Amino acid sequence: MDKKASVEKYAETIREAGRQGVDLIVTPETGIPVYPYWRNNFGYTDPESARRWKETVVAFYDEAVRIPGPETEELGQAVKAAGLTAVIGLNEQDDRPGSRTLYNTMLFIGPDGEIMGRHRKLMPTHQERIFWGRGDASDLRVFETSFGRLGGLICFENHMTLLKAAMAIKGEEVHAACWPGYWAYGGPGNTVRDMTGTLHPLHRSDQDAAVREYAFETQTFVVSASLFLTEDDVPDDFPYKKTTNWKWAMGGSAIATPFGTYAAEPLFGQEGLVIADLDLADRIVAKNVFDCMGHYSRWDVAQLRLKRQAVGPEPAAELGAPRAARVVEVPAAPAGPDAGAEEPEAGAVLPKAIMGAVPEGLAKPLLAALSEKFGPGSVAAARAELDSDDLEELARTHGLSHDEVVSFIHDFIDLIRRRSEFVVPDLVVEEPADA
């Protein structure tokens, strides 16, 4: 419950990883300032318990991190000094005005020290929902790195079948998995969750199964980080120190290969850097047998419809200035923003730019600014409009359903987005109100 000390410790760990030649470091779930292991201790049935709960809730919020903020700046400096990519599990204060919600977040920082993005846990488990809100589709992302496309999921998200499929469809190659500890199942019928800190055979834990199966079924490398925390590390003035089970914060960090085996087996009962050398060519070997995105896929049998937009208090079409409905801006043949613009020289390499469906009043000034930056004739915009009749005609012509047509449009735009070098701002697809 001390984000300053936590960040300082993480920064030093990151620098040490850099000294050891590490390219990617992953830290456990919400290690800054801590995972809420006291989640069974809530309640305010009398004035004293209400006081304890209030103080803990306020402290937990105050010690969480704002993205961006001074803490992310310090972490970014450490990442840059180490020359690596970092995925950091932390408690995040919501940046929406008026909100005081916390999120269970993975922060992605590139080797230049800049924030690449974040992922907020989509579904907190059981009592976790008392502490954290839920993320949305905009945070389900992958990031381009020097070692491939990097993504990540938190705890039981790594069991969610459709999320795993979504990450595979996004082209994930290296996967970060964050956990709060380790556990096993035992008792009659193996139905009792053992969180006593006892080390059982790995196959007794669903975490072992999740990490290795994720790696195998998506042919990714999985870098899995799990918290280690002893009761002695908890300050004596923490109100729930003696009534909280800290023993399951027993570590368990590991690294798995695309074959579903361990490159580095789980580390229990101590702090440490779990390090492995990964040969990215192993993905090709694994995919030669089982390629979830290639020869072993059957999109004609089953497909995934994936949302990509953030959810906010206002419908997306109403945010900012009004814009025309059912508009997608896509690149067109090179031409200047004005009729008299000069044509580019033959064979010239033009910067690729994709503009979102910006308000009409802003489109021309934005194009002019881009043209001034990259030269006359280097940019252009074309507008494609589809109404319900257009969609139905496409569906009839190609023997598809309405939903399949819309899905294909989204996939096409995603392809353009991934291959563009300059995006200002993101693409927007607005379906008809009667669709």
Q: What is the 3-state secondary structure (H, E, C) of 118-130?
A: EEECCCCCHHHHH
Q: How far is CA 86 from the centre of its chain?
A: 13
Q: Which amino acid is at 183?
A: W
164 catalytically annotated: no
**Closest among 372, 432, 373, 425 to 406, alpha carbons compared:** 432
16 catalytically annotated: no
CA atoms of 106 and 104, how far apart (whole Å): 7
Residue from 3, 29, 157, 329 carrying the catalytic annotation: 29
CA atoms of 30 and 64, how far apart (whole Å): 9
Q: Which amino acid is at 91?
A: N
For the CA atoms of 429, 430, 431, 432, the dihedral, rounded to the nearest 10 degrees, stands at: -150
CA atoms of 32 and 174, how far apart (whole Å): 23
Residue linked to tokens 């023997």: 399
Q: Which two tokens stand for residue 420?
A: 């563009």
**Closest among 132, 152, 153, 134 to 143, alpha carbons compared:** 152
373 catalytically annotated: no
Query: Are 259 and 218 in contact, with CB atoms under 8 Å apart?
Result: no
Q: Which amino acid is at 75?
A: L
User: 194 - beta bridge partners?
Assistant: 184
Length of the chain: 435
User: 382 - beta bridge partners?
Assistant: 330
Phi, psi of 280 (to 5 degrees): -65, -20
Residue burial 71-99, b: 16+ Cβ < 10 Å; e: rest: bbeebbebbbebebbbbbbbbbbbeeeee
Residue from 92, 155, 157, 292 carrying the catalytic annotation: 155
Phi, psi of 326 (to 5 degrees): 55, 45
**Closest among 192, 196, 310, 309 to 250, alpha carbons compared:** 196
Q: Is the peptide bond before 33 cis (omega within 30 degrees of 0)?
A: yes
Residue from 3, 63, 92, 121 carrying the catalytic annotation: 121
Name the residues annotated as catalytic. 29, 121, 155
